[in-house]
């Protein structure tokens, strides 16, 4: 039996009724009086010089109130493209009109004169010298050239000795790597532990493969939207569907060069984010500029098509991976060279390439990663950014090794998993995490140990790890005369976090969950709060809430001590009242009575404050098993069983945790099997749900979720972030199941029917 | 653009409106009538977020021109609860955790209600296929199906 009464229980979410009645206010539901409709004018080419923008015809259209271009950005910070566009859909101007259809018509009437340039969409083509160059100084050395160049630089710096012979020898060695000058590079990341060459030499089995993962869209159901209203004093109010209002406030202030205090951001209910709704994105600044120009509120809302052409999706990548192991199953070395498709700007999560390490003891590891420019929109976070891609490569290749040495994939993983106290990079040692418990749990729940497979059926397993982030947050708690508890904070709810915060506070103040209400403030009123993402909220805001409730708890005991004339040590708070310990007859005073009493005390009302920024957090593990059946004729894969376990530390609201596991797993499934943003010389060619298929209920069976609880030392009640881990292993889980079913390893996602048929054919089927 | 006279009966209330023929039912419900519970997710009839019930049938309101809905009985998510009592489908979505961000939820609830009204005695597989026109990105559908089956069972028992 749990020692807790509210945390650890499934309760209806705080926003339950408003979400099922249509009352919840999302970004596009905000409609201040006199509001105009904004529309962004976008490039019709993927790469072109802009020779001119003519707004004359559009201005004549009745109902058009403003048209802005980069000339209307007083700070000069880039909001719209001017002389060159780098992708289809890049913003060039924006229109505000009295009606959304008029705004759209006006946008079409704006004449853009283009000089079309050659386009590059494939990362492996973009790094070649023959590729069109998107930006100026963007040439980098590959890993081998880089090492040699570093040695040359080091020797050249030593002026006291003559190294000219060594240097000329090294310089001629550079000629061995003529293909290792990469072009269109936006960023690079390198790390190394041990000696991979030695590790491979000592290995009995070495496997090398190239994995190709497509760019996919977060596909939150609510397209990006912002409403802005600039008043005559210069004060700007922005309603935004966002994961982080405070970052929007600072982003707008920075872009427009105005003080923070001049901007108030109101976070609306959010129609999904998954990492794609962070910071200032696409719609916010144009809405503000249009409102400043017209003196009226303006809403800028993207269509689904605009989401696909000018969203900030998850980057695709190409990962060349090599792994070596002994024949008795010990992994000795792993090396990765990755090229991430960053699009027209830098920002792809290339650092996540290190996740090829997984949760295994790998003594020798080398990772080289590059971000590559192509003619696409930029990228952003998507649920455990970068991890699903890297883990797809890592976990696919583990199965290939297991097969070659004749070990069961689950046993092979269990044998190589890190344990508490094992060394990890950056000097620390491995904390206690339920790696083995979680894998064992999914294997048991799925029936792995006595699994059976019919013809063309197969089983796949994979694990994925992620570490929740943390960030600053503040919470106030007040207790009212009727014994009810109010919470005030500034963090956005992502699918249940307000509920978890409420549960924690109810637990500490020993009141029923129903007597707690939670209010979110805007950036003018609420204490600073980090963005809701990176599996941050439960960890950060949970800890913050705990501190606030404990502070209020302290004040409650002080008041009771005064009122009952008893020492605090003889008092305890339980069941919503302060009781005198072992009093006979029992003596107590309720929270409501204490709140009423507090109003006439010197110390004043019961207000608890919690403020928190960081504590080390522990990794989380997701482990999944799928059973599939592949039709070798059509190439279609049907999922027969999908089981997902996760070490969540402690499930504050088990039903909400299951929901995160199920949802994340299905997003991973979709990336493995269905989704890919496709590009041609004209840019994105599948900007809608007919051509970019996301799963519906008809595509999948029930996902079985298994909660594993190995408490995290610094988490509230041992909880850790649960949102991101479940997407991380599914890509490999599916590929491994398909391999088991048809005997062919598919290394390029998605595993769509035509790809399966081609793979079978090229393997002589 | 010339406007047309349209009479919309929404959740029992009559609205006499002058609207442009290019306006969709979704746009009129949201921008003119002011009922924003119905959501716009794709504007191409592919995601189901804008599902409302017109004369007993679930339709994607982004695919219906408002002028063609004149005189018809329209029910939106706002019209589902009666006398402060949630409809069994709404209650089931709460009880099973069948929603997360909630953006697709009005559409799912309306589509489910229409299906259950038509025939509550369907298998999980049948509901899975019948709801294939509604996209949810958060839940992975497991808890949505639980909600719909529970609501169907309840409606079936009280019918």
Q: B9 - beta bridge partners? A: B14, B73
Cross-chain Cβ contact A20/B128 below 8 Å: no
* Residue found under tokens 């009302």: A605
For residue B45, the chain A residue with the least C-alpha distance is: A689
Q: Is A656 on the interface with B (CB under 8 A)?
A: yes
Structure tokens at A3: 């020692």
pLDDT at A119: 98
pLDDT at A2 over 70: no
| ipTM surpassing 0.95 | yes
Contacts A655 to B, Cβ<8 Å: 96-97, 143
Q: CA A107, A110, A115, A120: dihedral to nearest 10 degrees?
A: 0
B122 and B147 in a common domain: yes
Structure tokens at B144: 């949505």
Mean of pLDDT values over A190-199: 96
pLDDT digits (tens, 9 = 90+) for A383-417: 999 999 999 999 999 999 999 999 999 999 999 99
Query: To the nearest whole number, what is the mean pLDDT of chain A?
Result: 95
For residue B131, the chain A residue with the least C-alpha distance is: A697
Structure tokens at A398: 């583990």
Cross-chain Cβ contact B140/A663 below 8 Å: yes
Give the residue from B56, B79, B102 where a domain finishes: B79
pLDDT digits (tens, 9 = 90+) for A453-486: 999 999 999 999 998 888 999 999 999 999 999 9
For A104, A146, A465, the CA distances from A63, given in Å and listed in that order, are 11, 58, 53
B93 and B50 in a common domain: no
- Nearest-CA distance A697 → chain B (Å): 5
Cross-chain Cβ contact B36/A21 below 8 Å: no
Q: How far apart are CA A183 and CA B19, in angstroms?
A: 55
Contacts B45 to A, Cβ<8 Å: none
Q: Is B13 helix (H, G, I), strand (E, B) or coil?
A: strand
Cross-chain Cβ contact B135/A223 below 8 Å: no
pLDDT digits (tens, 9 = 90+) for A579-638: 999 888 999 999 999 999 999 999 999 999 999 998 888 899 999 999 999 999 999 999
* Residue found under tokens 């190995």: A710
pLDDT at A427 over 90: no
B69 and B22 in a common domain: yes
Contacts A667 to B, Cβ<8 Å: 137, 140
For A21, A308, A344, A409, A690, the CA distances from A46, given in Å and listed in that order, are 42, 13, 10, 44, 22
Contacts A17 to B, Cβ<8 Å: 86, 94
Q: How far apart are CA A239 and CA A38, in angstroms?
A: 14
Strands of A516-520's sheet, edge to edge? A516-520, A485-489, A473-479, A607-612
Q: Does residue A188 have an active-site annotation? A: no
- Nearest-CA distance B26 → chain A (Å): 13
* Residue found under tokens 């010990």: A330
pLDDT digits (tens, 9 = 90+) for A72-107: 999 999 999 999 999 999 999 999 999 999 999 999
Cross-chain Cβ contact A25/B36 below 8 Å: yes
Mean of pLDDT values over B88-113: 98
Strands of A90-204 (E only): list them: 91-97, 111-116, 140-141, 181-182, 185-193
Peptide bond into A585 cis (omega under 30): yes
For residue B98, the chain A residue with the least C-alpha distance is: A659
Nearest alpha-carbon partner for A35 in A241, A229, A285: A229
pLDDT at A361: 95
The end-to-end CA distance of chain B, in Å, is 48
- Residue among B96, B101, B134 whose CB faces A495 most closely: B101
CB B65 within 8 A of CB B152: no
Cross-chain Cβ contact B131/A25 below 8 Å: no
Cross-chain Cβ contact B134/A696 below 8 Å: yes
* B-interface mutation test, from A277, A697, A730, most B Cβ less than 10 A away: A697
In this structure, what are the phi and psi dihedrals at residue A234, rounded to the nearest 5 degrees?
A: 100, -5
Nearest alpha-carbon partner for A715 in A638, A616, A588: A616
pLDDT digits (tens, 9 = 90+) for A546-557: 999 999 999 999
pLDDT at A764: 80
B93 and B144 in a common domain: yes
For residue B47, the chain A residue with the least C-alpha distance is: A689
Percentage of residues in chain A with pLDDT exceeding 90? 92
For A264, A336, A441, the CA distances from A259, given in Å and listed in that order, are 11, 45, 53
For residue B46, the enclosing domain spans 4-79
Active-site residue, from A188, A593, A724, A748: A724
- Residue among B76, B90, B132 whose CB faces A697 most closely: B132
CATH number at residue B115: 1.10.150.120
Cross-chain Cβ contact B139/A655 below 8 Å: no
State the pLDDT confidence band at A428, using cuts at 50, 70 and 90.
confident
pLDDT at B136: 98
CB A38 within 8 A of CB A104: no
| Pure H helices in B12-135 | 25-27, 88-96, 105-118, 124-130
Q: Is A495 on the interface with B (CB under 8 A)?
A: yes
Q: How far apart are CA A689 and CA B104, in angstroms?
A: 15
Q: Is A514 on the interface with B (CB under 8 A)?
A: no
Strand A637-647, strand A364-372: pairing: unpaired
- Nearest-CA distance B71 → chain A (Å): 24
Give the residue from B52, B79, B106 where a domain finishes: B79
State the pLDDT confidence band at A1, using cuts at 50, 70 and 90.
very low
- Residue among A24, A220, A666 whose CB faces B140 most closely: A666
Mean of pLDDT values over A628-656: 97
Q: Is A32 on the interface with B (CB under 8 A)?
A: no
Question: What are the residue boundaries of the structural domains of chain A, listed by start?
Answer: 31-117+224-301, 140-180, 471-612
Contacts B105 to A, Cβ<8 Å: 19-20
Contacts B24 to A, Cβ<8 Å: none
pLDDT at A425 over 80: no
| Homologous superfamily in CATH for domain A31-117+224-301 | Aldehyde oxidase/xanthine dehydrogenase, a/b hammerhead (3.90.1170.50)
Right CATH for A471-612 from 3.30.365.10, 3.40.50.620, 3.30.70.240, 3.40.50.12280: 3.30.365.10
Q: A466 - beta bridge partners? A: A620
pLDDT digits (tens, 9 = 90+) for A129-148: 999 999 977 899 999 999 99
Q: CA A402, A406, A410, A413: dihedral to nearest 10 degrees?
A: -40
Mean of pLDDT values over B146-157: 96
For residue B23, the chain A residue with the least C-alpha distance is: A101
Nearest alpha-carbon partner for A741 in A648, A661, A630: A630
Mean of pLDDT values over A180-204: 96
Q: How far apart are CA A226 and CA A270, in angstroms?
A: 11
Strands of A703-708's sheet, edge to edge? A457-467, A619-630, A637-647, A703-708
B116 and B70 in a common domain: no
pLDDT digits (tens, 9 = 90+) for A688-702: 999 999 999 999 999
State the pLDDT confidence band at A426, using cuts at 50, 70 and 90.
low
- Nearest-CA distance A460 → chain B (Å): 19
Nearest alpha-carbon partner for B125 in A700, A705, A642, A662: A700
- Chain A, window 208-267: residues with a beta carbon less than 8 angstroms from a chain B beta carbon: 218-223
pLDDT at A31: 97
Strands of chain B (E only): list them: 4-10, 13-19, 51-54, 57-60, 73-75
Give the residue from B32, B59, B79 where a domain finishes: B79
What is the length of chain A? 765
pLDDT digits (tens, 9 = 90+) for A211-263: 999 999 999 999 999 999 999 999 999 999 999 999 999 999 999 999 999 99
B130 and B94 in a common domain: yes
Contacts A313 to B, Cβ<8 Å: none
pLDDT at A468: 84
Mean of pLDDT values over A343-365: 95
How many domains are contained in chain B?
Answer: 2
| Pure H helices in A447-570 | 497-509, 537-564
pLDDT digits (tens, 9 = 90+) for A498-535: 999 999 999 999 999 999 999 999 999 999 999 998 88
Cross-chain Cβ contact A697/B145 below 8 Å: yes
CB pairs under 8 A between A and B: 176
B119 and B73 in a common domain: no
pLDDT digits (tens, 9 = 90+) for B32-48: 999 999 999 999 999 99
For residue A687, the chain B residue with the least C-alpha distance is: B42
Cross-chain Cβ contact B46/A688 below 8 Å: yes
Q: How far apart are CA A655 and CA A442, in angstroms?
A: 18
Cross-chain Cβ contact A303/B43 below 8 Å: yes
Cross-chain Cβ contact B143/A659 below 8 Å: yes
B69 and B15 in a common domain: yes
State the pLDDT confidence band at A185, using cuts at 50, 70 and 90.
very high
Nearest alpha-carbon partner for A163 in A172, A174, A152: A152
- Nearest-CA distance A656 → chain B (Å): 7
Strand A205-213, strand A317-325: pairing: antiparallel
């Amino acid at each position: 039996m749990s020692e807790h009464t509210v945390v650890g229980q499934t309760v209806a979410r705080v926003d339950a009724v408003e979400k099922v009645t249509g009352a919840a206010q999302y970004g596009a539901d905000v409609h201040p009086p006199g509001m105009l409709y904004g529309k962004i004018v976008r490039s019709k080419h993927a790469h072109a010089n802009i020779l001119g923008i003519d707004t004359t015809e559009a201005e004549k259209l009745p109902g058009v109130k403003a048209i802005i271009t980069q000339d209307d950005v007083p700070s000069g910070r880039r909001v719209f493209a001017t002389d060159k566009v780098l992708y289809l859909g890049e913003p060039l101007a924006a229109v505000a009109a009295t009606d959304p259809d008029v705004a759209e018509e006006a946008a079409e009437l704006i004449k853009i004169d283009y000089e079309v340039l050659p386009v590059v969409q494939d990362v492996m083509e973009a790094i070649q010298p023959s590729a069109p160059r998107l930006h100026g100084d963007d040439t980098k050395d590959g890993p081998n050239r880089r090492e040699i160049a570093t040695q040359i630089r080091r020797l050249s710096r030593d002026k006291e000795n003559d190294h000219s012979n060594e240097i000329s020898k090294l310089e001629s060695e550079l000629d061995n790597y003529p293909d290792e000058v990469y072009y269109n590079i936006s960023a690079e990341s390198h790390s190394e532990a041990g000696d991979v060459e030695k590790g491979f030499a000592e290995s009995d089995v070495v496997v090398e493969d190239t994995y190709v993962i497509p760019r996919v869209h977060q596909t939150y159901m609510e397209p990006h939207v912002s409403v802005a209203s600039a008043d005559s004093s210069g004060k700007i109010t922005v309603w935004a569907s966002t994961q982080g209002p405070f970052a929007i406030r600072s982003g707008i202030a920075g872009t427009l060069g105005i003080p923070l205090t001049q901007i108030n951001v109101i976070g609306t209910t959010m129609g999904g984010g998954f990492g794609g709704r962070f910071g200032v994105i696409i719609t916010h600044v144009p809405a503000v500029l249009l409102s400043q120009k017209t003196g009226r509120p303006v809403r800028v809302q993207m269509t689904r098509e605009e989401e696909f052409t000018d969203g900030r999706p998850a980057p695709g990548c190409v990962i060349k991976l090599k792994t070596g192991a002994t024949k008795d199953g010990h992994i000795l070395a792993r090396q990765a060279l990755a090229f991430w498709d960053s699009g027209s700007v830098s920002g792809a999560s290339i650092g996540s390439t290190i996740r090829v390490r997984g949760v295994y003891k790998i003594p020798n590891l080398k990772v080289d990663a590059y971000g590559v420019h192509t003619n696409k929109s930029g990228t952003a976070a998507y649920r455990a950014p970068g991890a699903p891609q890297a883990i797809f490569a890592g976990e696919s290749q583990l199965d290939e090794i297991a097969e070659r040495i004749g070990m069961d994939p689950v046993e092979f993983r269990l044998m190589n998993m890190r344990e508490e106290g094992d060394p990890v990079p950056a000097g620390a040692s491995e904390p206690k995490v339920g790696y083995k418990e979680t894998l064992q749990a999914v294997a048991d729940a799925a029936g792995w140990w006595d699994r059976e497979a019919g013809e063309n059926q197969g089983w796949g397993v994979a694990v994925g790890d992620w570490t929740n982030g943390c960030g600053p947050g503040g919470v106030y708690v007040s207790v009212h005369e009727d014994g009810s508890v109010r919470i005030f904070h500034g963090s956005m709810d992502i699918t249940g976090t307000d509920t978890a915060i409420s549960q924690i506070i109810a637990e500490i103040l020993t009141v029923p969950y129903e007597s707690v209400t939670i209010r979110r403030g805007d950036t003018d009123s609420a204490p600073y709060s980090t963005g809701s993402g990176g599996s941050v909220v439960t960890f950060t805001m949970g800890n913050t809430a705990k501190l606030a409730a404990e502070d209020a708890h302290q004040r409650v005991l002080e008041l009771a001590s005064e009122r009952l004339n008893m020492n605090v040590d003889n008092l305890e708070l339980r069941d919503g009242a302060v009781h005198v310990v072992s009093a006979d007859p029992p003596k107590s005073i309720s929270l409501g009575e204490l709140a009423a009493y507090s109003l006439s005390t010197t110390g004043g009302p019961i207000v608890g404050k919690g403020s928190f920024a960081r504590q080390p957090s522990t990794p989380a593990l997701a482990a999944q098993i799928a059973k599939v059946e592949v039709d070798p004729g059509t190439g279609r894969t049907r999922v027969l069983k999908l089981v997902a376990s996760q070490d969540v530390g402690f499930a504050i609201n088990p039903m909400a945790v299951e929901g995160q596991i199920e949802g994340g797993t299905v997003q991973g499934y979709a990336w493995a099997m269905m989704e890919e943003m496709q590009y041609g010389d004209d840019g994105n060619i599948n900007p809608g749900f007919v051509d970019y298929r996301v799963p519906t209920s008809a595509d999948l069976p029930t996902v079985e979720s298994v909660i594993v609880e190995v408490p995290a030392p610094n988490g509230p009640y041992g909880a850790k972030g649960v949102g991101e881990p479940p997407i991380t292993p599914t890509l490999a889980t599916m590929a491994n199941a398909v391999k088991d079913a048809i005997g062919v390893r598919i290394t390029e996602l998605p595993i769509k029917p035509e790809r399966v048929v081609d793979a079978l054919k090229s393997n002589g089927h | 653009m010339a406007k047309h006279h349209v009479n919309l009966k929404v959740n029992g209330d009559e609205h006499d409106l002058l609207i442009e023929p290019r306006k969709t039912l979704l746009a009129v419900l949201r921008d003119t009538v002011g009922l924003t519970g119905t959501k716009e997710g794709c504007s191409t009839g592919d995601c189901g977020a804008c599902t409302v019930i017109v004369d007993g049938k679930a339709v994607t309101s982004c695919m219906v021109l408002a002028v063609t809905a004149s005189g018809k009985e329209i029910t939106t998510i706002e019209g589902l609860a009666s006398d402060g009592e949630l409809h069994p489908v709404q209650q089931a979505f709460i009880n099973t955790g069948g929603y997360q961000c909630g953006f697709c939820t009005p559409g799912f609830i309306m589509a489910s209600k229409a299906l259950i009204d038509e025939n509550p005695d369907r298998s999980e597989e049948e509901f899975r296929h019948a709801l294939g026109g509604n996209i949810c990105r958060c839940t992975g559908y497991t808890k949505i199906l639980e909600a719909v089956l529970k609501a169907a069972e309840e409606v079936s028992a009280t019918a």
